[in-house]
Chain A
Amino acid sequence: MTTNPATESAERPAAQNFPADTRLAQHFDDFRSRLPDGDGSVVRRLEAMEDIQRVGVPNRRVEEWKYTDLRAFLHEAAAPASRPDAATVDAARKSAHVLADVPAARIDFVNGYLADAATLPEGVSVVPLSKALAEAHPALASLDQVEVANGNALIDLNTAFVDDGIIVQVAAGHEIGEVLHLRFINHGNTPFATATRVLVLVEKDAALTIAETHEGHVAAQPNSLVAFVLGDSARVEHVRVNAEGAGAIALSTLTALLGGEADFRSFNLVAGSAVSRHQLFIACQGENARVTIGGVTMIRGEDHADTTLVLDHAVPGGESRELFKTIVDGDATGVFQGKIIVRQDAQKTDGRMMSAALLVSPGATMYNKPELEIWADDVQCAHGATCGELDEDLLFYLSARGLPPAEAEALLLQAFIGEAIELVEHESMREALNALAVKRLENRS
């Protein structure tokens, strides 16, 4: 509470002498020189980089980064990856295994570059980002409409460095039965950074189930941005898995702009990476939109995992449910920051947010910051946060029924995260997530 938020740091002189700042500036200069002459995106890139440089990479003194010191984590910010050769692409795709059993149409990115796309289901079209940038695709502007995401450092970094991505469009009225699976696979031996951007436009009355998985074996430093735009009555179920390598610094942002009666569900499993920050900025712009956000974070060793959520209800009748479960093992640190904003016009909003953490080792740390910012009176909003260890009475009950301690603990931990995984409606994805989580728990010790 005694630290000062963004407002104050903004008044400070630019802090650009830290390794994170100087490295990023250097990488940006190198990256720019790679861009083709007359690239239309360069102005926005420069602006974004200027925004970063003016105040420096955020550190703990910036309120939104109080518990995740980006400046420290990017101390050794890696240079952007180069486009992989055919052999790398092949090897990477062979190694991919996350949600592999879920029947899906797959679009693969290797080291941040679009590698291959499956035959798409009818009603789905995909435009490569490079083409969209060149054509100034109208969808590109949608990100700016998510007001609560403006000025965010990760988005600025993504804007400055983004080098590949796609625009996915689902035509009005099409309900896509097949899962669309975006695989982000990192392959190589040395650290590198990636910056990808995916825009998902689901038009009026359309429905899409989309999976987004991140995996790899190296200390990658991905910065991924996925922006959803849902038309009126559109429905999306989104499942995301962070199964990055144990040394990865995984930075990610999800934005969503929701039309009237839209139904947006998103679930994120963190079962990888040394450092992660997953940000969600969700704006309900149409009335009676429904939002369901779930998350399970399983960290250990020296891991650091941050989930930051801002949910903006601007119009009446919105309903949101958020459930986050964190298991902190070893000397790891978990962070949850969640804010529900209900603006003056957003009467009859019903918002509920819960973050529960279990600390299963003496060195574990959890930071919870659940916020409510309410400007309308006829609302029902609540948040809860708990942290603690496994309930001794429950452990005894299970023990008295004959379960050995390790099994009893595993059962309770599975039940604990199972509640959040239950939010995933797509059955085979839910089962795959459960299996991933169980496997992660088995490797606990």
Chain B
Amino acid sequence: MIEIKNLVVEIEGNRILNGLDLTVADGEVAAIMGPNGSGKSTLSYVIAGKEDYEVLDGEILLDGENLLELEAYERASKGVFLAFQYPLEIPGVATMSFLKAILNAQRKAREEEELTTPDFLRLVRGAAEKLEINQEMLKRALNVGFSGGEKKRMEILQMALLQPKFCILDETDSGLDIDALRIVSEGVNALRDEKRAFLVITHYQRLLNHIVPDTVHVMSKGRIVRSGGKELALELEASGYAEYSTEAA
């Protein structure tokens, strides 16, 4: 379970999150929607532990443990996974070597045995197939020269391999065509179970047709201003964010 309490965050003196409260229970898929600039991406970065953000107040608890005291890589090993809106390209690092490095780093942090090469290969191949990622892509440098859809699928592949407790999908639908959206969503849905929690950040309702949320939260001016069930997303699709933007302004 992830609990965010009264989170106040600034960047270079500008307040982005302003007393945000949010709880996502085990097995729950929560969607956060909101107008541009409402602080959605900041929230995902702060949970994942990006520097440059000043947390002035509040806490983020994962199963009762305060994440704010941990470095980004430590949070990752505790089971926090952020699927980036813009996954980074790393020239010179083959995708396979990268996957192996991150899997083993997390296993090491959890004092688990490192995977043997055959086990690792089996694991990757199985997961890659489901996401329609071919072997050729795995041989190339990570995300270098990948299309938008390929990059997003690569994020989901990492999510599938790492088996995190809490997954944040930051605008994962941006830049995806309908086929890629389907593949990505199926990948995410396959990972849903009673233990794993998801936070799906999106501007549009479209993604939520594929990844059906349990709860929907509307974010504006750095806090949650409304919460409801999946029908709230449809309502927003019809009415737009205008009311929240003006209310906030």
CA distance A415 to B88 in the complex (A): 14
Chain B residues positioned under 8 Å from A394 (CB to CB): 88, 90
CA distance A402 to B48 in the complex (A): 10
Could you tell me if A403 and B101 are in contact, using CB atoms closer than 8 angstroms? yes
Please report whether the interface of chain A is mostly helix, strand, loop or mixed according to DSSP: helix
Interface 9-mer from B34-42, B68-76, B209-217: B68-76
Could you tell me if B73 and A405 are in contact, using CB atoms closer than 8 angstroms? yes
Q: Which residue of chain B has its CB nearest to the CB of A421?
A: B92
Interface 9-mer from B1-9, B102-110, B112-120, B238-246: B102-110
B237 at the interface (CB under 8 A from A): no
CA distance A397 to B83 in the complex (A): 10
A404 at the interface (CB under 8 A from B): yes
Chain A residues positioned under 8 Å from B73 (CB to CB): 398-405, 408
Known: A399-B71, A401-B76. A418 touches B92 (CB 8 A): yes
Q: Which residue of chain B has its CB nearest to the CB of A396?
A: B50
Contact of B93 among A400, A405, A407, A415 (CB under 8 A): A415
Could you tell me if A411 and B76 are in contact, using CB atoms closer than 8 angstroms? no
Q: Which residue of chain A has its CB nearest to the CB of B98?
A: A411
Could you tell me if A419 and B105 are in contact, using CB atoms closer than 8 angstroms? no
Which residues of chain B from 47 to 87 have a CB within 8 Å of any chain A CB? 48-51, 71-73, 75-77, 80-82, 84, 87
Could you tell me if B84 and A419 are in contact, using CB atoms closer than 8 angstroms? no
Chain A positions 239 through 275: 1 when the CB is less than 8 Å from some CB of chain B, otherwise 0 = 0000000000000000000000000000000000000
CA distance A411 to B49 in the complex (A): 20
Could you tell me if B105 and A402 are in contact, using CB atoms closer than 8 angstroms? yes
A65 at the interface (CB under 8 A from B): no
Could you tell me if B88 and A397 are in contact, using CB atoms closer than 8 angstroms? yes
CA distance A219 to B213 in the complex (A): 68
Chain B residues positioned under 8 Å from A399 (CB to CB): 49, 71-73, 76
Chain A positions 404 through 422: 1 when the CB is less than 8 Å from some CB of chain B, otherwise 0 = 1101100110111011001
CA distance A135 to B92 in the complex (A): 50
Q: How many residues of B contact A (CB 8 A)?
A: 29
Could you tell me if B102 and A419 are in contact, using CB atoms closer than 8 angstroms? no
Could you tell me if B72 and A407 are in contact, using CB atoms closer than 8 angstroms? no
A interface residue count range (under 10 / 10 to 19 / 20 to 34 / 35 or more)? 20 to 34
Q: How far is the CB of B26 from chain A (nearest CB, A)?
A: 21
Contact of B72 among A396, A411, A414 (CB under 8 A): A396
CA distance A252 to B154 in the complex (A): 46
Q: Which residue of chain A has its CB nearest to the CB of B86?
A: A393
B158 at the interface (CB under 8 A from A): yes
Could you tell me if A404 and B93 are in contact, using CB atoms closer than 8 angstroms? no
Chain B residues positioned under 8 Å from A407 (CB to CB): 101, 105
Could you tell me if B162 and A401 are in contact, using CB atoms closer than 8 angstroms? yes
Known: A405-B73, A407-B101. A400 touches B92 (CB 8 A): no
B91 at the interface (CB under 8 A from A): yes
Chain B residues positioned under 8 Å from A414 (CB to CB): 92-93
Could you tell me if A400 and B77 are in contact, using CB atoms closer than 8 angstroms? no
CA distance A188 to B42 in the complex (A): 60
Known: A399-B76, A400-B49. A415 touches B109 (CB 8 A): no
Contact of A411 among B50, B93, B162 (CB under 8 A): B93
Which residues of chain B from 190 to 238 have a CB within 8 Å of any chain A CB? none
Closest 8 CB pairs of A and B: A415-B92, A402-B76, A399-B72, A402-B106, A401-B102, A415-B93, A399-B73, A397-B88
Given contacts A401-B76, A418-B92, 10 further A-B contacts (CB under 8 A): A397-B87, A400-B50, A400-B75, A401-B73, A401-B106, A403-B73, A404-B73, A411-B93, A415-B91, A415-B93
25 cross-chain CB contacts under 8 A: A394-B88, A396-B51, A397-B88, A398-B102, A400-B73, A400-B84, A401-B73, A401-B102, A401-B158, A402-B73, A402-B77, A402-B102, A402-B109, A403-B105, A404-B109, A405-B71, A405-B73, A408-B73, A411-B93, A411-B98, A412-B90, A412-B93, A418-B92, A418-B93, A419-B92
**Contact residues of B with A, CB < 8 Å?**
48-51, 71-73, 75-77, 80-82, 84, 87-88, 90-93, 98, 101-102, 105-106, 109, 141, 158, 162
